[in-house]
């Protein structure tokens, strides 16, 4: 039986979590439950297979998020805790070199053992161990443990989104085209297809000196979101909605994938090598028929009004040039998003697919949060004054600050309470399996 995306027993936000250990423990338990609920629609066979090296099996996500709490919280802080199985330290370590050996990422699909039931039993014991620790630790220990638990909660939410990305990629390789979540699952339905997208309007921003980056007083933020600092922006304009499938079909009709004048050199080389002709997961049931796309609800016709999704940074940049525009910098995006409420088509809605913009909305940009992550023109690097934390925790973000690009805003599979104005997602420019789209910008 499929469990709901979020059962409502704990508020799906983390405001003021550090105020009490009890609230943090309740949030921890809810997030652990939600990961298992996301895996529940899958058969055991679905949870073992790895469709490409960038993806991981669902069982590995279940194990890795458990390993994180056992290795970084329980072993150092819960007296008497012993590893459930020492080999798990090797099997489920991802990239923490300082914590020992790691099973190769591209070979995670070979881990048919331990069986899924044993991983779930391990999860249950570690979850209970963390709850016991939170209930029994003294004030000094709690002061050290609570930030680790809070980090682990957000780490697990990142893997919830990755789990759904990886399941979609896996099912898209299956000729049966299975649905992760059937239409009669009881969650929010996908909106009816709309032929006419919301017209594009532009919001002008005057530029000037602005503050960006996470403010610690606002609650949790990953280390790569700070320090907060000043940036100088030139006047710019931002489109009020993301690029739609209708927009993208125009790009394709104008032979955009083959026109080198729009593409970065590495981008056109990748597009040619991998024969890109449309976004990832798009297909035509008939050679000259309309386009469809594979979704977590199974195959669906392309909705012209919905945001385009599953495009790489190279494709996003090429489309922007084709349109006579550009991608916004991450600073431009964050300044434009300031003052907008963090709400939208995120995972708690249960739609699991980008939806068209509401034509009745007005007053500046819409869909800043949810639907699709938005590629920016900014390379992922350190903010001025950034210093990674000491020890293994310092490997979390800092060592990836090379050759990747920043995305902002969250997607339809981003967990509730996880995204913020300063949240910096990052992927390599060729990667397409994330729920990534784009919004255009231009100089004033």
- Judged against a pLDDT cut of 50, whether residue 1 lies above it is answered with no
User: Can you give the residue ranges of every domain in the chain?
Assistant: 17-172, 202-443
In the predicted model, what is the mean pLDDT of residues 329-347? 95
C-alpha–C-alpha distance, residues 46 and 229, integer Å: 45
Tokens linked to 315:
């494709």
Beta-bridge mates of residue 212 = 229
> Which backbone phi and psi does 292 adopt, to 5 degrees?
-120, 170
Band (pLDDT 50/70/90 cuts) for residue 198 is confident
CA dist., res. 253 & res. 442, Å (int): 23
pLDDT in tens, 352-398: 999 999 877 777 799 999 999 999 999 999 999 999 988 888 888 88
Per-residue pLDDT at 103 exceeds 70: yes
How many degrees, rounded to 5, is the angle at CA 155 between CA 152 and CA 161?
A: 145
pLDDT value at residue 9:
39
Mean pLDDT to the nearest integer, 257-280: 98
pLDDT tens column, 125-181 = 999 999 999 999 999 999 999 999 999 999 999 999 999 999 999 999 999 999 999
pLDDT of residue 263: 98
Give residue-wise pLDDT tens across range 105-124: 999 999 999 999 999 999 99
365 with 340: CB under 8 angstroms? yes
- Rounded alpha-carbon distances, angstroms, from residue 67 to 26, 32, 123, 257: 20, 13, 9, 42
Architecture of the domain spanning 202-443:
Alpha-Beta Complex (3.90)
Query: Which pLDDT score, from 0 to 100, does residue 185 have?
Result: 55
When pLDDT is averaged across residues 283-312 and rounded to a whole number, the result is: 96
**CB neighbourhood size of 233 (10 A):** 17
CATH code reported for the domain at 17-172: 1.20.120
Band of the pLDDT at 302, cuts 50, 70, 90? very high
pLDDT at 4 over 60: no
Residue 334 pLDDT more than 60? yes
Output the average pLDDT for the chain: 92
Paired residues of 437 in beta bridges? 374
Residue 332 has pLDDT above 90, yes or no: yes
Segment 407-419, tens digit of pLDDT: 999 999 999 999 9
Q: 390 or 427: whose pLDDT is higher?
A: 427
pLDDT digits (tens, 9 = 90+) for 9-33: 344 454 544 468 999 999 999 999 9
pLDDT at 192: 60
Question: Are 17-172 and 202-443 the same fold in CATH?
Answer: no
- Residue 384 tokens read as 């001025």
CA distance 250 to 248: 5
Strand order in the sheet with 298-301: 282-283, 292-295, 298-301
Average pLDDT, integer, range 58-82: 97
Q: What is the pLDDT of residue 32?
A: 98
Residue % of the chain over a pLDDT of 70? 92
Mean pLDDT of 209-219: 94
Would you list the DSSP string of 281-348?
TEE-SSTTS--EEEETTEEEE--TTSBP-S--HHHHHHHHHHTT-BPPPHHHHHHHHTTS-S-SB-GG
pLDDT at 7 over 70: no
Q: How many CB atoms lie within 10 A of CB 311?
A: 25
- The stretch 270-282 carries a mean pLDDT of 98
Contact residues for 389 (Cβ-Cβ < 8 A; gap 6+) = 223, 396
Residue 189 pLDDT grade (very low, low, confident, very high; cuts 50, 70, 90): low
Confidence of residue 194 (pLDDT cuts 50, 70, 90): low
**Helix (H) / strand (E) containing 426:** strand 425-427
In the predicted structure, residue 184 carries a pLDDT above the cut 70: no
pLDDT value, residue 16: 46
Tens of pLDDT, residue by residue over 234-252, are 999 999 999 999 999 999 9
Q: Is the pLDDT of residue 280 over 50?
A: yes
| Residue 330 burial (10 A CB sphere; 0-12, 13-18, 19+) | buried
């Amino acid at each position: 039986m499929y469990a709901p995306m979020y059962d409502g027993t704990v508020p799906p936000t983390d405001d003021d979590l550090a105020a009490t250990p009890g609230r943090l423990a309740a949030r921890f338990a809810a997030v652990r439950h939600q990961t298992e609920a996301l895996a529940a629609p899958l058969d055991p066979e679905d949870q073992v297979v790895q469709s490409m090296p960038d993806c991981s099996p669902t069982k590995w996500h279940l194990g890795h998020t458990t390993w994180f709490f056992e290795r970084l919280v329980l072993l150092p802080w819960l007296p008497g805790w012993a590893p459930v199985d020492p080999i798990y330290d090797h099997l489920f370590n991802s990239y923490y070199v300082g914590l020992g050996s790691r099973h190769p990422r591209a070979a995670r699909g070979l881990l048919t053992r331990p069986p899924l039931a044993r991983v779930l039993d391990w999860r249950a014991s570690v979850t209970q161990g963390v709850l016991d620790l939170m209930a029994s630790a003294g004030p000094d220990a709690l002061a050290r443990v609570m930030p680790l638990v809070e980090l682990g909660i957000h780490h697990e939410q990142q893997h919830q989104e990755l789990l759904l990305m990886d399941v979609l990629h896996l099912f898209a390789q299956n000729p049966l085209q299975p649905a992760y979540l059937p239409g009669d699952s009881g969650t929010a339905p996908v909106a009816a297809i709309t032929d006419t997208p919301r017209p594009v309007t532009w919001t002008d921003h005057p530029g000037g000196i602005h503050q960006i980056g996470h403010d610690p007083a606002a609650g949790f933020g990953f280390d790569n979101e700070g320090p907060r600092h000043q940036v100088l922006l030139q006047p710019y304009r931002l489109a009020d909605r993301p690029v739609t499938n209708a927009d993208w079909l125009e790009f394709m009709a104008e032979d955009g994938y083959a026109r080198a004048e729009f593409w970065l050199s590495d981008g056109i080389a990748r597009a040619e090598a991998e024969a890109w002709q449309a976004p990832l997961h798009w297909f035509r049931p008939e050679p000259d028929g309309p386009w469809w796309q594979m979704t977590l609800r199974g195959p669906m016709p392309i909705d012209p009004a919905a945001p385009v999704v599953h495009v790489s940074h190279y494709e996003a940049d090429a489309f922007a040039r084709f349109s006579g525009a550009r991608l916004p910098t991450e600073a431009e995006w964050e300044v434009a998003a300031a003052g907008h409420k963090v709400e939208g088509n995120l995972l708690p809605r249960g739609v699991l697919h980008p939806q068209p913009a509401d034509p009745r909305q007005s007053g500046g940009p819409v869909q800043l949060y949810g639907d699709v992550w938005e590629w920016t023109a900014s390379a992922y690097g350190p903010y001025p004054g950034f210093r990674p934390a000491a020890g293994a925790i310092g490997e979390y973000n800092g060592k990836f600050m090379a050759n990747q690009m920043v995305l902002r805003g969250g997607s339809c599979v981003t967990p509730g309470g996880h995204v913020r104005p300063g949240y910096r997602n990052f992927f390599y420019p060729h990667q397409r399996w994330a729920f990534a789209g784009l919004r255009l910008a231009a100089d004033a």
